[in-house]
Amino acid sequence: MVQKAQRLGGRHQAGRPVGNPTRGTTNPNRMRRVDRWMTGTQEFRLRPAVTGAPPICVDLGYGASPRTAVEYFQRLRAVNPRVSVVGLEIDPGRVREAKAMEVEGLSFDVGGFEIPTARNPLLIRAFNVLRQYNEEDVAAIWKALAARLDPQGLLIEGTCDEIGRISTWVGVAPEGPLTLSISVRFGAVHRPSDVAERLPKALIHRNHPGERVHEFLAAADAAWLASAPLAAFGQRQRWIAMCRTLRVQGWPVRDGVSRWRLGELTVDWACVAPRTGSLAL
């Protein structure tokens, strides 16, 4: 079911969470791909020498079940045992139910885009949250969330399918968006552009000729097709070859084989950013 797009209201009552309740659908392990990226490529942000004080990380809009917030906490704690995670939901009923899952370092509270935490969080994970809003609201939401970040922090805003086999997200720093990441389970897509229906809200309506993200996905499809002979050695080898081809062609592909072999592909935001609108470069 596709949720009808809503506008982010311009006026909010004092003391009330900013935003609209989500559908709340979730499944265990649904966020494993984005969490793996955070604890891998963004591990440097969580190092105690960088953070100083014990870092706070936020799971914004965790849904009807707190399961993915608990998993987020466990994965971040494996990198830095001092991390605290706060799960935020607009629906007080969801928060009351989640309270039973609280442990030292993991708490749940009512909140929205205002991020009502004691200190600025190091990481904010907002997954499957912005899908319900209009594209015109994305820039304002990113700006509001980024303003609450620690100076070394990152907002990870994206979406995924119901069981987490296809995920995409944007990494947004306090100064603005940095990257777009794609992560797929091999066999879940026939070609890279199949992720188009799971693109973040900022890009999901931009996959058409004349837009950068369309050009990028078309180039990825062409590189995937050219790498078809390597399918005999497995889809992983074909994906790695595709990433190498894109880099050789001049696309700003980040990381290396250790990430590509996981079905990941991260590029600079500038190569996919909309050409018009509030998020245009």
Q: Which is more confidently placed, 213 or 48? A: 213
- Whole-angstrom distance, CA of residue 139 vs CA of residue 117: 22
Which range (12-16, 55-59, 85-89, 159-163) has the least confidence?
Answer: 12-16
Q: What is the mean pLDDT of the chain?
A: 92
- The two three-digit tokens of residue 177, written as one number: 């968006």
Q: What is the pLDDT of residues 101-122, one digit of tens each?
A: 999 999 999 999 999 999 999 9
Which pLDDT belongs to residue 142?
98
Residues in contact with 193: Cβ distance below 8 Å, sequence separation at least 6, in sequence order: 207, 217, 218, 220, 221
| Domains of the chain with bracketed CATH | 32-271 (3.40.50.150)
Residues in contact with 175: Cβ distance below 8 Å, sequence separation at least 6, in sequence order: 146
Q: What stretches of 123-234 show up as alpha helix (H) in DSSP?
A: 138-147, 201-204, 212-226
How confident is residue 19, by pLDDT bands cut at 50, 70 and 90? Answer: confident
Q: What is the pLDDT of residues 223-276, one digit of tens each?
A: 999 999 999 999 999 999 999 999 999 999 999 999 999 999 999 999 999 999
What's the pTM value of the predicted model, to 2 decimals?
0.92
Are 227 and 191 contacting, i.e. CB atoms less than 8 angstroms apart? no
Place of tokens 């931009």: 206
Which pLDDT belongs to residue 49?
65
Are 90 and 111 contacting, i.e. CB atoms less than 8 angstroms apart? yes
Q: Which is more confidently placed, 2 or 280? A: 280
